[in-house]
Amino acid sequence: MMSRTNDFVQAITDGNTFKGDSITVGSAILDGETITNAYVKVPLKTMNRHGLIAGATGTGKTKSLQVLAENLSDKGIPVLLMDIKGDLSGLAQPSPGHPKIDERHEKIGLPFESKKFPVEVLTLSEQDGVRLRATVSEFGPVLLSRILDLSETQSGVVAVIFQYCDNNKLPLLDLKDFKKILQYATQEGKKEFTEAYGRISTASTGAILRKVVELEQQGADLFFGETSFDVDDLLRVDNDGRGYINIIRLTDIQDRPKLFSTFMLSLLAEIYSTFPEQGDSDRPELIMFIDEAHLIFNEASKALLNQIESIVKLIRSKGVGLYFVTQNPTDVPEAVLGQLGLKVQHALRAFTAKDRKAIKLTAQNYPDSEYYDTTEVLTSLGIGEALVSALDEKGRPTPLAATMMRAPMSRMDILTDSELSNLLSESKLVKKYNEEIDRESAYEILNEKIEQAEAEEAKEKARKEKEALKKAESKKRTSSTRRKSTRMNPVVKVLTSATFIRSVFGILTKVLKK
């Protein structure tokens, strides 16, 4: 028995010894007992290979996320957290400590240190925090079409709209700009668009408008606009060299998955397009944790899923790691799951035949181990325990280890209202991004153009009416003159008749004389 334990400890030690820097997440468990100092580690070099934190409700997923975020920050690596449940803001305050935490760390063999971390609170909605925005132009026609789940024909219309705005210097900043240009294309500007790009169907623009309204109903009108968030601000470090932990408060958009997906895809696309290629670096540039990841995948269209899968495959070359946090690995599409190098799997519950089948499938995602029956371990892990498998510095899976996870160094609870207020009052980003700007854009320019056209049209109409009135008056005067010339004075008529008669008699007299 002792030999088996020694062999296990040796295997864990060998598999978790790295040349470069690493994060210690806990100590290995064998046969239900925590083995002190049998540390389970994750090398920084492969943390851009993405990861998964999964497990049933109440098994410790959020605390594992918190531990990873804290240790990354301590290593000078910035972190972005999607806080769906609203329980991560406590990272800004030190842990008050607890006897159970001391007991846990004594078993692990790590001293417990209580500390707070540099935190920036961000928001997509009207909640307090640094406002995150992006313009419609920054999305571009392809990404916007995928977000709206448009057909090929409708996507072509969107491409034409963007081209027209580029050619005519019409900024597309928010959704009212986009809706206005859609209406203009088939109404006031129909002739202009037809001559330049061909006829645009009102059925297509109507369908696109309905999709835009659907997005607005989920709060996207707050997200689209200025000032656009600069993703470089996610890479800040404090004066002590610790990376900022950026927490996006998403507690009020759980029932608005399309807005969540829109934001996520926008952010990933922006990071991929602006971050430089990092190559084979010893440390990541940024780590992102997406809590309740099923909210993205369950509501995503096929086009959106394809876009996410593509970005997951490509973005690691920029030094960015994506970590999905969800209840079951089956929540994540196979194409994405296959890209996840680090797996922290907390306990799963087998209440039904379907649950047991899902657990067997989950067990197959982990390396084989001579020390564990993975399927059995998945249902017997305690709170704060997890199966951990990472990638070593050569990209090979580390030995599978049931792990007693270390406790967070920061508070495992939310900030009070006063603490949050103090945190935001010290934020430089709040001052930078929370001033709402509504400068002249497509909406105002087109309205002005339409008003000018209507004014010109009214002016031309008035001119034509005036000309018509003049012609009518002139015609009336001419007609009146003619009538006057045919209706002579009676005296004139008699004189004229007498003159005529005299002329006739004069001629007759001359004839008779002859």
442 falls within a domain: no
Same domain, 213 and 238: no
23 falls within a domain: yes
Provide the whole-model pTM.
Answer: 0.83
Same domain, 83 and 144: no
439 falls within a domain: no
Same domain, 356 and 419: yes
Same domain, 191 and 285: no
Query: Which two tokens mark 232?
Result: 């470089």
Q: Cis bond leading into 62, ω under 30°?
A: no
Domain membership of residue 198 as a residue range: 136-222
Same domain, 147 and 61: no
Same domain, 384 and 508: no
pLDDT at res. 481 = 64
Is 441 exposed, middle or buried, given 0-12, 13-18 or 19+ CB atoms closer than 10 A? Answer: buried
Same domain, 122 and 168: no
* Element counts in the chain: helices (H) and strands (E): 19, 12
Same domain, 82 and 110: yes
pLDDT at res. 147 = 82
Cβ atoms within 10 A of the Cβ of 62, count?
20
User: What percent of the chain is predicted at pLDDT more than 70?
Assistant: 90
What is the spatial distance between Cα 231 and Cα 35, in angstroms, rounded to a whole number?
42
441 falls within a domain: no
Mean pLDDT to the nearest integer, 361-374: 87
| Lowest mean per-residue pLDDT among 113-122, 182-191, 467-476 | 467-476
443 falls within a domain: no
68 falls within a domain: yes
Same domain, 407 and 506: no
Same domain, 67 and 206: no
Total tally of structural domains belonging to the chain = 3
CATH classification at residue 334: 3.40.50.300
Position 198 confidence tier, pLDDT thresholds 50, 70, 90: confident
Mean pLDDT of the chain: 86
438 falls within a domain: no
Q: Length of the chain, please?
A: 514
Last residue of a domain, one of 383, 402, 433: 433
Same domain, 326 and 427: yes
Last residue of a domain, one of 375, 408, 433: 433
Is 15 exposed, middle or buried, given 0-12, 13-18 or 19+ CB atoms closer than 10 A? Answer: buried
Query: Rounded to the nearest 5°, which phi and psi values hold at 40?
Result: -105, 125
Same domain, 234 and 326: yes
Mean pLDDT to the nearest integer, 264-279: 86
Instruction: Kindly report, residue by residue over 71-83, the tens digit of the pLDDT.
Output: 999 999 999 999 8
181-190 long-range contacts, CB within 8 A, separation 24+: 181/442, 181/446, 182/208, 182/209, 182/212, 183/209, 184/446, 184/450, 185/157, 185/160, 185/161, 188/450, 188/453, 189/446
Last residue of a domain, one of 165, 195, 222: 222
